[in-house]
C-alpha cells in the first residue's frame, strides 16, 4: 500500500519508520513548535496542539487503519505525516511536517503522496485535512494531488488570527 522511499531521500540519509521509539515524540513536538514559531509566529499553544494529536495517536488502544510516517535522519525525527481513521471510511491527514534541515529534498511531497496512496489502498473513500492560510508549500502539494478546498473559517489560534482551510480529496476505488 505504500511505496519505497525514493533514492533521493535515501541518498540524503532519510529513512521512514511507522513505529515510535523513545525520544521520537519529544523530537517531533520540538521541531513542530520551534520551526512553526520561527516560520509563522505560532505560539506554544500550537506546540501543545501538535503534542495532543501525537499523544492521542500513540495512546489510541484501537488504531485500526490509522498510521504514522516518521522521517528520520541519523536516527532523529525530521518529518512526519499521520493518517487518522474516522467513521464512514474517512481519513484525516495530520501533522505533515518537514524540518528546515531537509526542506527541498522532496520529503514533504513524498510523505503526502505516500499517505494518500496508503488511504486508497486501505479502502478509505475520502481523506481531508485542515491547514492554515500561509503554509504555501504544503497547500501547493495538496492541490497538486487533487485536494480541493471545501471550507474556511477565521479564528484566533496559536497566538494570532488565522484563516483555517479544509481540503478534501475524494478517493476513487
What confidence tens digit (pLDDT) does each residue in 7-25 have?
Answer: 999 999 999 999 999 999 9
DSSP the chain: ---PPPHHHHHTTEEEESS--TTHHHHHHHHHHHHHHHHH---HHHHHHHHHHHHHHHH-S--TT-EEEEEEETTEEEEEEEEEEETTTEEEEEEEEE-GGGTTTTHHHHHHHHHHHHHHHTT-SEEEEEEETT-HHHHHHHHHTT-EEEEEEEEEETTEEEEEEEEEEEPP-
Confidence of residue 42 (pLDDT cuts 50, 70, 90): confident
Which domains, from first to last, does the chain contain?
7-170 (3.40.630.30)
pLDDT in tens, 27-37: 999 998 999 88
Amino acid at each position: 500500500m505504500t511505496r519505497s522511499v525514493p533514492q533521493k531521500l535515501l541518498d540524503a540519509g532519510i529513512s521512514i519508520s511507522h513505529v515510535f521509539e523513545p525520544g521520537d515524540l519529544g523530537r517531533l513536538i520540538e521541531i513542530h513548535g520551534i520551526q512553526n514559531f520561527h516560520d509563522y509566529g505560532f505560539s506554544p499553544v500550537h506546540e501543545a496542539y501538535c503534542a495532543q494529536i501525537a499523544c492521542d495517536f500513540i495512546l489510541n488502544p484501537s488504531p485500526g487503519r490509522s498510521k504514522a510516517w516518521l522521517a528520520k535522519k541519523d536516527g532523529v525525527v525530521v518529518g512526519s505525516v499521520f493518517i487518522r481513521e474516522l467513521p464512514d471510511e474517512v481519513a484525516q491527514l495530520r501533522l505533515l511536517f518537514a524540518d528546515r534541515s531537509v526542506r527541498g529534498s522532496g520529503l514533504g511531497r513524498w510523505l503526502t503522496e505516500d499517505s494518500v496512496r496508503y488511504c486508497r489502498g486501505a479502502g478509505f473513500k475520502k481523506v481531508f485535512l485542515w491547514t492554515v492560510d500561509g503554509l504555501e508549500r504544503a497547500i501547493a502539494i495538496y492541490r497538486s494531488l487533487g485536494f480541493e478546498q471545501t471550507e474556511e473559517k477565521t479564528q484566533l489560534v496559536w497566538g494570532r488570527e488565522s484563516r483555517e482551510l479544509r481540503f478534501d480529496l475524494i478517493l476513487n476505488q
